[in-house]
Amino acid sequence: MIKHVLVPLDGSRLAESVLDPVVQLVRSSQGSILLLHAVTPAESFAMTASEFVTRERRHSARYLARLSERLGDQGIGVEERVVTGEPSRVIVATASREKVDLIAMSTHGRSGVREWAFGSVAERVLRSTGIPTLIFWGKLKGRFAIRRILVPLDGSPRAMAVLDAASDLADSLMAELLLVHVGKRLPEAVERACQGLERRHTPHQVLMGKGDPSSAILEIVRKESPDLIAMTPTGESRHERIHFGRVAEEILRRAERPILLVRPQEGK
């Protein structure tokens, strides 16, 4: 069950747009939200780096306090942290120290990895943490709810690594999992996963596709209209970037859905 969620904020409406779905999540699980703002030291002609940090931490504390009060009025448990340092590093360090179950954040990319800026905060966070990370592309429109989660599975250990986090998210939100496999037969690993989901009473169904994996999965996305896609990168890196593999990149580029990403632990 996901009960403790870290939400990094930079003061923008884009970053704040993740709060509504996160509130739904923690309200369902009777959990709490940790709001985090990172102040990066800088110098200007008017003040030293120390003076700048002191001023910005004061402004940030007031900003988080206003958000905390608003969320608290909805009956949500909220904590606030203002930290100093490079954003991705303090996000990863705080998530680890506070033992959060999930990191939820926005990125400016509008359509998956195609628009994922090199070295973006979201990418650096994912590259540095094994904590499940829920990423929203751009600002959410209207009331957004996660009711159906699509999980592409090829039966490999790396692909299966996302299933625990996806199941926890589904259980917390009372959502349904759509397990998608492209091939003639369902791999034993996926069959075992279904048995586990039945034991924990997680609503799910298995959808089979044929032909080219990315095209087949995208066709299922079109027909089923999931609210979220849960995936794992291959665990490799290329020029300091996350490498998803051809099929995963094609899905993320064209599906235009929020994604839950889980980086497999080393050696798995």
Q: Does any domain span residue 267?
A: no
Give the pLDDT of residue 47.
Answer: 67
Angle (CA) 124-24-111 rounded to 5° is: 40
Domain end position, chosen among 137, 164, 184 = 137
d(CA 153, CA 166): 12
10 Å Cβ neighbour count for 200? 11
Residues in the chain, overall count: 268
Pairing, β 148-152 against β 176-182: parallel
Axis-axis angle for helices 213-224, 246-255 (nearest 10): 30
Same domain, 97 and 205: no
10-residue stretch averages of pLDDT, the chain, 268 residues long:
92 87 88 92 68 87 93 88 92 96 79 46 83 82 83 90 93 94 93 95 96 92 94 59 66 81 68
Give the pLDDT of residue 148.
Answer: 96
Domain end position, chosen among 137, 159, 194 = 137
Same domain, 117 and 230: no
d(CA 22, CA 133): 12
pLDDT tens track for 159-176: 898 999 999 999 988 999
pTM of the model: 0.86
Single out the residue of 84, 16, 23, 20 nearest to residue 5, CA to CA. 23
Phi, psi (deg, nearest 5) at residue 161: -65, -20
Identify the domain containing residue 207 by its residue range: 148-261
Q: Which residue has the tokens 């926890």?
A: 168
Pairing, β 4-9 against β 32-39: parallel
pLDDT tens track for 212-268: 988 999 999 999 999 999 988 754 444 445 556 677 777 877 777 888 988 876 544
Residues 6 or more apart whose CB falls under 8 angstroms from that of 139 comprise 13, 14, 17, 106
Report the CATH number at residue 157: 3.40.50.620
Residues 6 or more apart whose CB falls under 8 angstroms from that of 97 comprise none
Q: Does any domain span residue 195?
A: yes
Q: Does any domain span residue 268?
A: no
d(CA 249, CA 74): 37
Give the pLDDT of residue 243.
Answer: 56
Give the pLDDT of residue 107.
Answer: 78
